């Protein structure tokens, strides 16, 4: 497990050495063209082994489908850091599932936590999710992840087009415009179908998240995750009752809004 102190130290060193954006929109377009027609495995091997995107990390929630991307990346290089946001609000089943996958796949887990001062000032009761879910996500997810990603050039996400209409047109490679640093956001599974995901689980005997069998096809923090009925959008159980579809780690303007 890579401590946050090391990430912060690397970030400071990077800022001293090079303040220019790492990548541009042109780079994202070029990479999408380069890997047009390539399989996910071919793309991952080239990007990781040939260092095409610089220092890489996987951002994983250890949710319902996370094992597939983690298995693919670990098969190329298990040393790639896997960033997990421990918000303090996860299901106990998610934390246990995380530990199972880390041991099974030999993952290089990096646990990110909210800033203690932020929590004390803005969510002292721990109930901000109940009246301001955007603010809760900002404190517990967005800020810790932004701090950690400052030490990387690109990140892998597990987003897939079939998960929601708002994800239908995402490319494999896109520019993360959240802070002007010019990082790449890479979506290796964007064109995978639900059948593809299920087949990979079966073929490689990967363990399933225990909450799937209880009607949770998309799993986030426990207070803001509900069961989903058959036929409903898999992400419809997230922030039910709120005009909210994403936690905020994917910004509007980076792609068709998620």
CA dist 13 to 156, 178, 199, 218, 257, Å?
23, 21, 43, 37, 33
Report the Cα 181 to chain-centroid distance in Å: 18
Q: Which one is catalytic: 136, 221, 224, 247?
A: 247
Sequence-separated contacts (24+) of 231-240 with Cβ below 8 Å: 233/164, 233/165, 234/64, 234/163, 234/164, 235/163, 235/164, 239/133
| Closest alpha carbon to 211 in 70, 127, 98 | 98
Q: How many alpha carbons fall within 13 Å on the CB side of residue 255? A: 24
Pairing relationship of beta strands 154-156 and 173-176 according to DSSP bridges: unpaired
At residue 50, φ and ψ (nearest 5 deg) are: -95, 5
- Is 136 designated active site? no
Residues catalogued as catalytic:
247
């Amino acid at each position: 497990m890579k401590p946050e102190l090391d990430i912060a130290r690397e970030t400071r060193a990077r800022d001293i050495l090079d303040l220019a954006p790492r990548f541009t929109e042109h780079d994202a377009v070029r990479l999408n063209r380069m890997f047009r027609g390539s399989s996910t495995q071919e793309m991952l091997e080239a990007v990781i082994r040939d260092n095409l995107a610089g220092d890489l990390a996987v951002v994983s929630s250890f949710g319902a489908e996370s094992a597939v991307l983690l298995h693919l990346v670990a098969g190329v290089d298990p040393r790639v850091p896997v960033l997990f946001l421990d918000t303090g609000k996860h299901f106990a089943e998610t934390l246990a599932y995380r530990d199972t996958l880390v041991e099974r796949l030999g993952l290089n887990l990096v646990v990110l936590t909210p800033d203690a001062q932020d929590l004390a000032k803005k969510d002292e009761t721990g109930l901000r999710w109940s009246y301001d879910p955007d603010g809760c996500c900002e404190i517990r997810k967005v800020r810790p992840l932004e701090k950690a990603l400052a030490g990387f050039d690109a990140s892998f996400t597990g987003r897939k087009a079939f998960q929601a209409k708002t994800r239908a047109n995402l490319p494999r490679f896109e520019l993360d415009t959240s802070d002007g640093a010019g990082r790449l956001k890479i979506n290796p599974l964007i064109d995978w179908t639900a059948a593809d995901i299920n087949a990979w689980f079966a073929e490689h005997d990967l363990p399933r998240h225990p909450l799937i069998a209880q009607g949770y096809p998309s799993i986030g923090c426990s207070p803001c995750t509900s069961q989903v009925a058959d036929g409903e959008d898999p992400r419809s159980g997230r922030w039910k009752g709120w005009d909210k579809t994403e936690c905020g780690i994917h910004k509007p303007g980076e792609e068709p809004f998620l």
